[in-house]
């Protein structure tokens, strides 16, 4: 329920809830202002905007911003992803098919293959690609001019991007987690699109459990709407939101079953740690990648867990949230800003 990445069956639902212009995009005021300035200047000059790099955790609006850039420039949008481009020829085929001014959105750009990445350098800078014909000593590189376009790259791991690629983006934005007020606005707007009857305190409760992520907020809203439709009169109130989210095992601060299982294992079975990641994952019956990429980021960000050279350690906030008392000789420590 609270995984920040998009599941295949919810992409259509997400698309219907996305804002279509910068005026309706909430939660990233500095990025919106900077991007608005970039796009307005490009429109006034009648030119193509600089290439844009969007980085940050999943679910914060990178794809939405790419769509808004295309809409604001009245340009077509081409969408692909890094894992889908494994050969330079794949990228050459896409780039040669672009039209003048088109926006090319490349998600998870850090996962693109090295040969394609090197071809992208030339395309971004000189708007041409070199197509190699033949093999061996007789191979010939044929330069192919491509229309001027705007590349919008998105990444959840900006540190994996090589320097030469980062340097070719004219504008770089780091998206941050949303505060409760912005999430409430997003939830109310989405409720209007869905036709859901939502009270203010119901919207605040959904926003509070959304882990600062619009994608999670919209997902929880759809599940609470289903609960209200089937088990109530359709109106989403504070009490109904409480009951619905409790049913879906999302607690008052947004922890789900996996999060609580990790904290419970860490505190009850291993005395608060330190414990290795693989041991912790086995204890909750999950893959190490799931624990590391799905549960840990939020637990660490909220100060419930710390990563140390010796392993994972529960903080006093974790013991307190679970209603447990740390043993006298506990290794539990205070996370900065928690106690």
| Length of the chain in terms of residues written | 339
As a whole number of Å, the CA-based R_g of the chain is: 23
Q: Is 260 labeled as catalytic in the residue annotation?
A: no
Long-range contacts of the stretch 115-120 (C-beta < 8 A, 24+): 115/87, 115/88, 116/85, 116/86, 116/87, 116/88, 116/90, 116/91, 117/162, 117/165, 118/88, 119/88, 119/91, 119/92, 120/91, 120/151, 120/165
Q: Give the 3-state secondary structure of 227-262.
A: HHHHHCCCEECHHHHHHHHHHCCCCCCCCCHHHHHH
Q: Is 63 labeled as catalytic in the residue annotation?
A: yes
Q: How far is CA 234 from CA 194, 226, 227, 240, 297, in A?
A: 12, 8, 8, 10, 34
Q: How far is CA 199 from CA 184, 206, 242, in A?
A: 11, 11, 13
Q: Is 62 labeled as catalytic in the residue annotation?
A: yes
26, 107, 188, 315: the catalytic one is: 107
Residue 236's DSSP bridge partners are 198
Annotate 144-194 with DSSP letters as a single string. Answer: EE----EEEEEES-GGGS-HHHHTT-SEEEE--PPPHHHHHHHHHHHHHHH
Q: Is 107 labeled as catalytic in the residue annotation?
A: yes
- CA 95/CA 74 separation, integer angstroms: 19
Chain-centroid distance of CA 237 in Å reads 28
Q: Is 246 labeled as catalytic in the residue annotation?
A: no
3, 18, 26, 62: the catalytic one is: 62
- CA 135/CA 147 separation, integer angstroms: 27
3, 18, 26, 63: the catalytic one is: 63
64, 150, 156, 237: the catalytic one is: 156
Task: Classify residue 2 by its DSSP letter.
Answer: -
26, 78, 209, 215: the catalytic one is: 215
Give me the active site residues, please: 62-63, 107, 156, 215
């Amino acid at each position: 329920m609270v995984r920040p990445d998009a599941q295949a069956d919810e992409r259509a639902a997400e698309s219907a809830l996305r804002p279509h212009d910068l005026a309706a995009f909430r939660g990233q005021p500095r990025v919106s202002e900077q991007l608005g300035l970039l796009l307005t200047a490009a429109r006034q000059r009648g030119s193509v905007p600089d290439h844009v790099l969007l980085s940050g955790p999943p679910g914060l609006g990178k794809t939405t911003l790419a769509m808004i850039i295309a809409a604001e420039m009245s340009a077509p949008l081409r969408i692909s992803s890094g894992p889908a481009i494994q050969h330079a020829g794949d990228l050459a085929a896409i780039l040669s098919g672009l039209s003048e001014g088109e926006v090319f959105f490349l998600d998870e750009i850090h996962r693109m293959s090295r040969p394609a990445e090197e071809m992208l350098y030339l395309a971004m800078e000189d708007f041409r690609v070199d197509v190699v014909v033949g093999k061996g000593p007789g191979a010939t590189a044929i330069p192919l001019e491509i229309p001027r376009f705007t590349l919008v790259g998105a990444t959840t791991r900006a540190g994996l991007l090589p320097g030469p690629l980062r340097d070719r983006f004219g504008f770089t934005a780091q998206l941050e987690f949303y505060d409760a007020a912005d999430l409430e606005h997003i939830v109310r707007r989405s409720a209007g699109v869905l036709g859901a009857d939502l009270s203010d305190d119901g919207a605040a409760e959904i926003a509070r459990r959304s882990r600062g992520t619009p994608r999670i907020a919209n997902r929880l809203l759809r599940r609470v709407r289903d609960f209200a439709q089937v088990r109530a009169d359709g109106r989403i109130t504070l009490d109904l939101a409480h009951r619905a989210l409790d049913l879906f095992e999302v607690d008052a601060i947004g922890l789900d079953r996996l999060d609580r299982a990790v904290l419970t294992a860490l505190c009850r079975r291993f005395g608060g740690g330190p414990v290795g990641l693989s041991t912790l994952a086995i204890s909750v019956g999950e893959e190490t990648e799931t624990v590391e990429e799905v549960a840990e980021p939020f637990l660490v960000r909220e100060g419930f867990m710390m990563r140390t050279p010796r392993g994972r350690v529960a903080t006093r906030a974790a013991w307190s949230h679970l209603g447990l008392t740390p043993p006298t000789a506990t290794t539990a420590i205070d996370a900065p800003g928690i106690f």
